[in-house]
A = this chain, B = another copy of it.
Amino acid sequence: MTDNPVVDAARRARTASTALATATRAVKDRALHAMADALVDGTAEIMAGNDADVAAARDAGTATALIDRLSLTPDRIGGMADGLRQTAALADPVGEVVRGSTLPNGLELRQIRVPFGVVGIIYEARPNVTADAAGLCLKSGNAVLLRGSASAARSNAAIVRVLRDAVARVGLPADAIQLLDSSSRDSVKELMRARGLVDVLVPRGGASLITSVVEESTVPVIETGVGNCHVYVHADADLDMALSILLNAKTSRPSVCNAAESVLVHADVAEAFLAKALPALRDAGVTVHGSPAVVEAGRAVSVDVAPATEADHAAEYLSLDLSASVVPSLSAAVEHIRRYGTGHSEAIVTGSVAAARTFVSTVDAAAVLVNASTRFVDGGEFGFGAEIGISTQKLHARGPMGLPELTSTKYVVTGEGQVR
Contact = CB atoms under 8 A, between A and B. Distances in A.
Nearest to A18: B362
Interface stretch (A272-280, A291-299, A310-318, A412-420): A412-420
Nearest to A215: B218
Interface in A380-420: 381-383, 393-396, 398-400, 408-420
A222 interface: yes
A340 interface: no
A248 interface: yes
Given A362-B22, A394-B200, A411 B218 contact: no
A109 interface: yes
Tallying the copies of this chain within the complex gives 2
Given A362-B18, A376-B413, A420 B222 contact: no
Interface string A232-246: 000000100100110
A372 B415 contact: yes
A395 B241 contact: no
A352 B418 CA distance: 17
Nearest to A101: B383
Interface in A108-122: 109, 111, 114, 116-117
Contact of A396 (B199, B215, B395): B395
Given A107-B372, A248-B419, A381-B420, A360 B394 contact: no
A225 to B, nearest CB: 15
Interface stretch (A1-9, A34-42, A123-131, A363-371): A363-371
A32 interface: no
A252 interface: yes
A382 B411 contact: yes
A361 interface: yes
A214 interface: yes
A373 B410 contact: no
A65 interface: no
A364 B117 CA distance: 9
A12 interface: no
Given A361-B21, A394-B117, A411 B366 contact: yes
Contacts of A415: 369-372, 376
Given A361-B22, A372-B417, A382-B103, A395 B222 contact: yes
A229 interface: no
B411 A367 contact: yes
A375 interface: yes
Interface string A2-38: 0000000000000000100110000000000000000
Interface in A71-97: none
* Nearest 7 A/B pairs, CB to CB: A372-B415, A248-B419, A394-B408, A396-B396, A241-B417, A367-B411, A375-B420
Given A101-B383, A247-B419, A371-B418, 14 more contacts: A18-B362, A103-B383, A111-B399, A114-B364, A195-B214, A220-B221, A245-B417, A371-B415, A372-B418, A373-B418, A375-B419, A375-B420, A376-B420, A381-B420
21 contacts: A21-B362, A21-B364, A103-B376, A104-B383, A109-B382, A117-B394, A200-B395, A214-B218, A215-B218, A222-B395, A241-B417, A356-B414, A368-B410, A368-B411, A369-B415, A370-B414, A372-B419, A373-B420, A377-B411, A398-B410, A398-B411
